[in-house]
Structure 1
Amino acid sequence: MTTVPAPTDARPRGAARVGALPAGSLAQLLHLGREMGALDLAGGVPGTPRPPRAVLDAAAEQLLRGDNQYEDTSGNLLLREQIAGTLPGRPDPRTEVTITTGASEALSVAMLATIDPGDEVVLLEPFYENFLAALALAGGVPRYVGLRAPDWRWDPQELEAAFGPRTRAVVVNSPANPTGRTLTRPELEELAALCEKWNVTLISDEVYAPFVYDGRRHVSAADIPALRDRSIVIGSLSKAYALSGWRIGHTRAHPRITERLRAVHLATSFSASGPLQRAVAASGVLQDVSWRPAAELARMRDRMVALFTAAGLPCRAPEGGCYVMADIRGITDEDCETFVRRLATRRRVLVVPGRCFFRDHTADSGHVRIAFNKSTDVLQEAERRLADGL
Structure 2
Amino acid sequence: MPTPANRLSQFSESVIRGMTRLANRCGAINLSQGFPDFDPPEEILSALETATRGPHHQYAVTWGAPRFREALAQKISRNTGLSIDPDQHLVVTCGSTEAMMVAMMTACNPGDKVIVFSPFYENYAADAILSGAEPIYVTLNAPDFGYNPQELEAAFEQKPKAIIVCNPSNPTGKVFTPEELTHIITLAEKHDAYVITDEPYEHIVYPPHVHTYAASLPGAWERVITCNSLSKTYSITGWRLGYVLAPQEVIAQARKVHDFLTVGAAAPLQEAAVSGLELPDQYYSDLQDLYSRKREVFLGYLRQTGLPFTEPQGAYYVMVDISSLGFETDTQAAEWFARKVGVAGVPGSSFFREPEHRFIRFHFAKKEETLHAAGKRLLLLADKDWLKSNR
Q: Which has the higher helix share?
A: 2
The code of the aligned residue for 2:135 comes to: P
Q: Is contact 2:166-2:197 (8 Å) kept?
A: yes
Q: Which residue of 2 aligns with 1:4?
A: none
Question: Where does residue 349 of structure 2 map in the other structure?
Answer: 355
CA distance in 2, matches of 1:146, 1:46: 30
Q: Does 1:80 align with 2:105?
A: no
Change (3 A) 1:72 1:204: same
Query: How do 1:365-384 residues align onto structure 2 when only pairs under 5 Å count?
Result: 365-384=357-376
1:156-189 alpha-carbon deviations (Å, 9 max, x no partner):
1110111135410000000000000001111011
Query: What amino acid does structure 2 have at the position aligned with 1:68?
Result: H
1:163 is aligned to 2:152 = no
Structure 2 gaps of 5+ residues are 383-391
Aligned: 1:321 with 2:315: yes
**Residue 103 of structure 1 contacts residue 235 of structure 1 at CA under 8 Å; is this kept in 2?**
yes
1:205-220 alignment, distance < 5 Å? 205-220=198-213
- What pairs up with 1:116-195 in 2 under 5 angstroms? 116-164=109-157, 166-195=159-188
Task: Output the CA distance in 2 between the equivalents of 1:340 and 1:62.
Answer: 41
Where does residue 385 of structure 2 map in the other structure?
none
RMSD (Å) for aligned C-alpha atoms:
1.6
Match of 1:122, SS state, is strand
Q: Which amino acid aligns with 1:318?
A: P
SS where residue 75 of structure 2 aligns? Answer: coil
How far has the Cα of 1:289 moved from its partner? Answer: 2.2
2:243 counterpart of 1:244? no
8 A contact 2:59–2:267 mirrored in 1 = yes
**Residue 30 of structure 1, CA deviation:** 1.8
| AA in 1 matched with 2:380 | D
| Aligned-residue offset at 1:110 | 0.4
Paired residues of 2:297 and 2:372 also in contact (CA < 8 A)? no
Give the TM-score normalised by the residue count of structure 2.
0.92
**SS in structure 2 of the partner of residue 64 of structure 1:** coil
Residue 284 to residue 318, structure 1, CA distance change in 2 (3 Å) = closer
Q: Kindly indicate whether residue 219 of structure 2 is the aligned counterpart of residue 226 of structure 1.
A: yes
Q: Provide the secondary structure at the position in 1 that maps to 2:220.
A: helix
Deviations 1:196-228 (A, max 9, x none): 111000100001101001232210111212221
Contact 1:327 1:367 in 2 (8 A): yes
| 88, 106, 113: which one aligns with 2:106 | 113
Q: 1:266 to 1:38 in 2, by over 3 A?
A: same
Secondary structure of the residue aligned to 1:378 is helix
Alignment partners' CA distance in 2, 1:351 and 1:67 = 38
One-letter code aligned to 2:236: L
Task: Tell me what 1:22 maps to.
Answer: 12
Kindly state the Cα deviation for residue 376 of structure 1 after the two structures are TM-superposed: 1.9
Give 1:140 shift: 0.5
Q: How many residues align?
A: 376
Q: Give the match for residue 190 of structure 2.
A: 197
Q: Cα offset for 1:381?
A: 1.3
Query: Given the alignment, which residue of 47, 56, 59 partners 2:37?
Result: 47
Q: Which runs of 5+ in 1 are unaligned?
A: 1-10
Cα pair 2:241 2:265 within 8 Å, conserved: yes
Kindly state the Cα deviation for residue 320 of structure 1 after the two structures are TM-superposed. Answer: 0.2
Match of 2:22 among 22, 32, 38: 32
Deviation at 1:374, TM superposition (A): 0.9
Identity %, equivalent residues = 34
Could you tell me how far 1:384 is from its partner in structure 2?
2.8
